[in-house]
Structure 1
Amino acid sequence: MKAISYSGYGGPEVLEYGEARDPKVGPDSVLVKVRAAAVNPVDWKAREGYLDPVLDAVFPVIPGWDVSGVVIQPGASVTEFVTGDEVIGYVREDFLSRGTFAEYVAAPVRTLARKPRNLTYEEAAGLPLAGLTAYQVLTGALTVQEGDVVLVHAAAGGVGSIAVQLGRHLGARVIGTASERNHDFLRELGAEPVTYGEGLAERVRALAPEGVDAVFDTVGGEALKVSADLLAPGGRLASIADASVVDLGGRYVFVRPDAADLARLADLAEQDVVTVHVDETFPLERAADAQRLSAEGRTRGKIVVTVPWTD
């Protein structure tokens, strides 16, 4: 099969497009013919070796954890899916090797759910990692409830844009940080936009003088430090970008595959509660360009790699 892979850590230049071994299908996995795979910041961070302290890399590594596609072959013990089912998945294992930037991926059934019927393959590929992150932070770490005021950092990005929509669905008032060019986009999603950078605290306090009930940090650094000072009494703080959030009394969250959570997100997508904005698509052979764009950190919504359908 055709795939993108790298044989050692490094910049985007280590990514190679070519032939890779067809994946074997274990008893608890299904073989998925990939139609699209979303790009996430963790992809280039893994490629550069940032995850090496916690995840072994079995080289050559095929990157990518998000996928949408069609089941070609269920594993021997799989009863949840049959050949021809359209699926989405956050296909993460506890090592780096068998990713989704390929024509086929053997996906553990615990990582999959049925694809929302109203989403394109490209849109559906952008839902799993970003959607699960937003869902698990809002409903778990932050326990967002109706009437809460929630601050979401980088609210126009892949995770942030879904967090805005889920927060509104949970009955919260959502304030979102973004560059001015994305303010109208955030308003369309239901958020009250504020510009990030110097003076952020004052701009947020102008909207929420008594503080915010919860902060969803996707940026880390100075934005995280400012956030802690913006919390109302009893406020909750969670970050997916900066583990030092624990020192501030908050929670650090690393998203985990969960088939039930993913199925819930798929249902919300079919109800038009959650939409996925695809900013740009790249063919599989240009995955290095897709990762370069992701690393710039200015994407609205998702970047997606597409795999042409061939019989």
Structure 2
Amino acid sequence: MLLSDFDYNLPEKLIAQTPCQKRDHSRLMVLNREAKSISHKHFYDLKQYLKKGDTLVFNDTKVIPARLIGHRAKTGGKVEVFLLRRTEGNCWETLVKPGKKAQIGNIIEFGDELACEVVGHTDFGGRIVEFKFDGIFEEILDRLGETPLPPYIHEKLADKNRYQTVYARENGSAAAPTAGLHFTQELLEEIKAMGVNLAFVTLHVGLGTFRPVNVDNIEDHVMHKEFYHIEKEAADIINNTKKNGGRVIAVGTTSIRTLESAAADDGTIAPTAAETGIFIYPGYKFKIVDAIVTNFHLPKSTLIMLISAFAGREFVLSAYEEAVREKYRFFSFGDAMFIE
């Protein structure tokens, strides 16, 4: 299957630069896979499509201020260090710009209270760095780091909390699980009052989620691994939902990848903590996910491939064409889809 099979034309003016004023007032395109129908709603209408006994599964990861701007200790040259994931101790996988200037042994300083040494290379062109500091790393990072917005967002975010879900609680992501940005605390309470279960899993979003595909044959693409975990409480809720005939509805592609990574062939799930490099594209047989809440994704991305695996490539691309015609807002701060 070719990379060009997942391309579509998107006018730049439809790329959302700021979030919707009210989280749940974004638009919602509803896709019915069986009827091949498309409906146009608002996100607060999602309740119409949920049933008592369903379970919504959310990724409760929290975005860290993962972008650090520093200088090389020897030359004073400016360096950007983008944190991807902690490996062990104070060592992190990172992307460094300019990478050619970041060789093993180089020291990068971020003011007086934080520095790092380049201690290794990664197989994706990144660097392993070891941080040196006095105090609590998370507090220092909160002071010195910046919230990393995607490169297609050019406007400064007035409220940095708008790039966090209202249920974010597990620090560790380099990017937000953006399908969840549409939920308000009030909407979650209303959904819960309907008899719909809420389950929370964690996948720390890293390079695997947003790394571009650079091969013509998509089957040659290798996903970067990301850490996830599922607690017993969430596993029990999900298993009971399947047992009782309810639907497991994944909120976002990271929740989908978490569930499908952990699911057994019989559609059950167990408490798990592991890394996943799962790459879902058309031909994949879903084990556990019955419906999806998702945003609109970049052309030729692994995310549009995942959605195409669930709903069919031609149906998904036709829906994207309609979204362009109807002037939906795209990507992280854009509108949403419900696929049932």
Structure label with greater radius of gyration: 2
Specify which structure has the bigger relative contact order, considering alpha-carbon pairs within 8 angstroms and separated by 6 or more residues. 2
Give TM-score, length-normalised by structure 2. 0.28
TM-score, normalising length: structure 1: 0.30
